[in-house]
Amino acid sequence: MIRRTACRLFTALPLVLGAAALSPDAEGQDVTSEGWAEASAGLTFYLEVPMIDNYDLEDYGIGGNITAESIINAVRYAADHPDIRHVAFKMNTGGGALHHAEAMEDIIERHHDNTEFHIVVQDAISAGIWTAFSCDTIFMCRDGTIGGATAYYQLSADLVLVAGDIPEIAARLALTAERNGYPPQLIEPLMLMKTELHYWIDEDGEKVLSNTAPEDKEYLEGYRHLDRKDTVLTLTSQDAIEIGIAKPIGGFDTQLVGEEIGVPGWTRANRFGTVNDEIGMLYNTTRRMEDVWVERQLNLRRFPVTTYNRNNRMIKDMLRDRRQHADIVEALRTINKALNALPEVHPERHIYVMGEDKQTILADPEQWSKDVTASRGHASRLTQGLRQLKDGFKKQEIDANNLDDIESGLTTIAQRIQEIARQGNAAYWDKQRD
């Protein structure tokens, strides 16, 4: 997992730290919204947002490739579009950074009035439970897990300090869980070793969770001692479904949620959730890289501009080093400004449906045209910044292979934007649906 200086969450084990409507191909031609109302009438749109660990990266998990910025952008976008009444998360994570998890929880809680939130869980371990208990409904895949959260501070590569404020952290999450219809008694056992959890069905047929052992438990229907004081609880999907906090689902697929909530045939609004995930993953990496290079630059000695200094070979080399550091910082700032601005104008944020003529109909075609123009500008800045960054690395005699992951991601984003602009929305979306 990622090492942080901030408080993070990790998988916990017993006694161990846890762990019509066309856009022509030619540029500059208008897109109309003719037929939008008729084509979209009766449809229920949802936004799909992935929260899935990318184990190919060094920095994976919540706060790694799953960033708070990505979730915040996606949730705000859905809340700003009345046509999108549901957000469906896909979660498979082993945990991550606490401040990212709480930021995600906060933005979801602020938008419950006009948006319903659902989550399809393969694994929601540690920091993943913040998003899960912020949702209106939790769906668990077969053999899934949820829980196992404990908090610690990563003070250095070799020094870990268990967070003393875990009870306060758990209390905050318990309030969120209760607001969304989940039993608050469940939260402390998921985070604290000292708390236990008991489950049974009372005489009225209601499911009961308690942190205190009941009297005459042998006579209680369905009694189970789910968690003891020397463990941090992780629930299997079967456990979560049995105690009533989750519903079963047939696969790791948000389209199945529509059937389960009584909206059969609901329609994904667009790929904006996935786009945010891709952009956020890169932004999280390049922004931290910028911080590192800024710090290196600040640590380089400064020299007054004098004839002696200009003619002193060692000082000349140091001044050259400062210039090269500044070039790398400027390249990263160019990239980061573009990545930060892209979610607001990315062409794939537009709601679309397929008309009877099998061509795409846009909800806001005028804005589409403006966004394509703006996003192409940002894509060009990504390419420009990447060139400058590679050149800076070369001058610093740093292996350019260190930029392979960044280059691949930036190039993919830039090429996709250019492809959408070149093809037009109808052709592009028709290809995506095939």
Per the structure, the complete domain to which residue 174 belongs is given by: 7-19+44-268
Q: What is the per-residue pLDDT across 277-335, written as a single tens digit (0 to 9) for each?
A: 999 999 999 999 999 888 877 765 665 666 666 666 665 566 666 788 889 999 999 99
Give the pLDDT band of residue 368 (cuts 50, 70, 90). Answer: confident
- Same domain, residue pair 87 and 224: yes
- Same domain, residue pair 85 and 136: yes
Instruction: Specify the number of domains making up the chain.
Output: 2
- Same domain, residue pair 290 and 212: no
Q: What is the per-residue pLDDT across 270-290, written as a single tens digit (0 to 9) for each?
A: 899 999 999 999 999 999 999
What are the backbone angles phi and psi of residue 7, rounded to the nearest 5°? -70, 130
- Same domain, residue pair 69 and 167: yes
Could you tell me the sign of the dihedral formed by the alpha carbons of 364, 368, 88, 359, in that order?
positive
- Same domain, residue pair 261 and 291: no
Burial pattern 24-54, b for ≥16 Cβ within 10 A else e, equals: eeeeeeebebebbeebbeeebbbbbbbbbbe
Which tokens in the block code for residue 382? 């990504």
Give the pLDDT band of residue 171 (cuts 50, 70, 90). Answer: very high
What are the backbone angles phi and psi of residue 428, rounded to the nearest 5°? -65, -50
For residue 315, the tally of other CB atoms under 10 A from its CB is: 15
Which tokens in the block code for residue 292? 């590192």
For residue 368, the tally of other CB atoms under 10 A from its CB is: 22
pLDDT at 11 over 50: no
- Same domain, residue pair 262 and 278: no
Mean pLDDT of the chain: 84
Q: What is the C-alpha to C-alpha distance for residues 351 and 429, in angstroms, rounded to an integer? A: 11
Q: Which of 243, 268, 293 marks a domain boundary?
A: 268
pLDDT at 22 over 60: no
Whole-number pLDDT of residue 330: 95
Whole-number pLDDT of residue 306: 66
Q: What is the per-residue pLDDT across 186-234, written as a single tens digit (0 to 9) for each?
A: 999 999 888 999 999 998 999 999 999 998 888 899 999 999 998 999 9
- Same domain, residue pair 138 and 217: yes
Q: What is the C-alpha to C-alpha distance for residues 428 and 61, in angstroms, rounded to an integer? A: 31
